[in-house]
Structure 1
Amino acid sequence: MSVDAPRTGSRPERMTAHEVRQRLDHARTSRLTQLQALDEGGQGADEHLMSVQKSAIERVLKEIDDAFARVADGTYGTCLGCSEPVPPERLEILPYTPCCVACRRRAV
């Protein structure tokens, strides 16, 4: 998926680099807020569950940072598994995803 491509039709297929960065910023801010809430509300909570949640959030934050790097180097929206474009609908839902659904399924 090429960012900054012109939009056509009633539903945008491609996001501009600015829009991608905004979505990634929003995703990062949301995850950082979740981490802060876990740190502040951890009294009496299940330590193992909190550890698992923190690890998952930290993994997503790493994926977000990696997505910012892909925007910067021009590879954002290209599947890291098969090198095909990641469907715009998938990027709309998970703007930091590194791969298409088929490649994600193979990886799991």
Structure 2
Amino acid sequence: MSLDLPRTEPRTANPAADEVRRRLEHARTTRLAQLKALDESGDSPGDHLMSNQKDAIKRVLTEIDEAFARVDAGTYGDCLGCSKPVPPERLEILPHTRYCVACQRRAS
């Protein structure tokens, strides 16, 4: 996975999927900018906080790529825990989320 290239797909006949892709791409671009800023700030030896931040951003980037795959598979918006729809408000805030709130609590 190249972190420098946007992961845009051709527009589809499904405007809802296009909007989801737009939100995911925005989330991805934001995380890439954060990662770049951390990389440019330089690491101090033993700077565990910086390392933890980078790891967290990379995990979110992986979750975003997985969300793109769920859009492609037609399962985006379904909770991976209970298979019920994730509330649209939650997807608006966290477009890469895999779980509804209840299942997220159980998974944590």
Q: Same fold (TM over 0.5)?
A: yes
Please list the CA deviations of residues 5-49 of structure 1 after superposition, one character each: whole Å capped at 9, or x if unmatched: xxxxxxxxxx71000000000000000000000000125586211
Question: Which amino acid is 1:80 matched to?
Answer: L
Provide structure 1 residue ranges, at least 5 long, that are not aligned to the other structure.
Answer: 5-14
Q: Give the structure 2 partner of residue 51 of structure 1.
A: 51
AA of the residue aligned to 1:76: Y
Task: Confirm or deny: 8 A CA contact 2:67 2:97 kept in the other structure.
Answer: yes
TM norm structure 1: 0.83
Change (3 A) 1:28 1:83: same
Distance in 1, Cα, partners of 2:91 & 2:52: 25
Bigger relative CO (Cα 8 Å, ≥ 6 apart): 1
Flag the 1:43–1:63 CA change in 2: closer, same or farther, 3 A: closer
User: Equivalent residue for 2:3?
Assistant: none
Instruction: Provide the C-alpha distance between the structure 2 equivalents of 1:90 and 1:45, rounded to a whole number of angstroms.
Output: 38
Q: Which residue of 1 aligns with 2:27?
A: 27
Give the number of aligned pairs.
Answer: 95
Code of the residue aligned with 1:58 in structure 2: it is K
CA–CA separation in structure 1 for the residues paired with 2:46 and 2:27: 26
- Residues 43 and 52 (structure 1), Cα distance of their counterparts in 2 relative to 1, 3 Å cut: closer
Change (3 A) 1:45 1:36: farther
Q: Is the 8 A contact 1:42 1:50 kept in 2?
A: no
Q: Which residues of structure 2 form unaligned runs of 5+?
A: 1-13
For residues 43 and 83 of structure 1, do their structure 2 counterparts lie closer, same or farther at Cα, with a shift above 3 Å needed? Answer: closer
The aligned residue for residue 72 of structure 2 is 72
The structure 1 segments of at least 4 consecutive aligned residues displaced by more than 6 Å after TM superposition are: none
| Matched-pair identity in % | 69
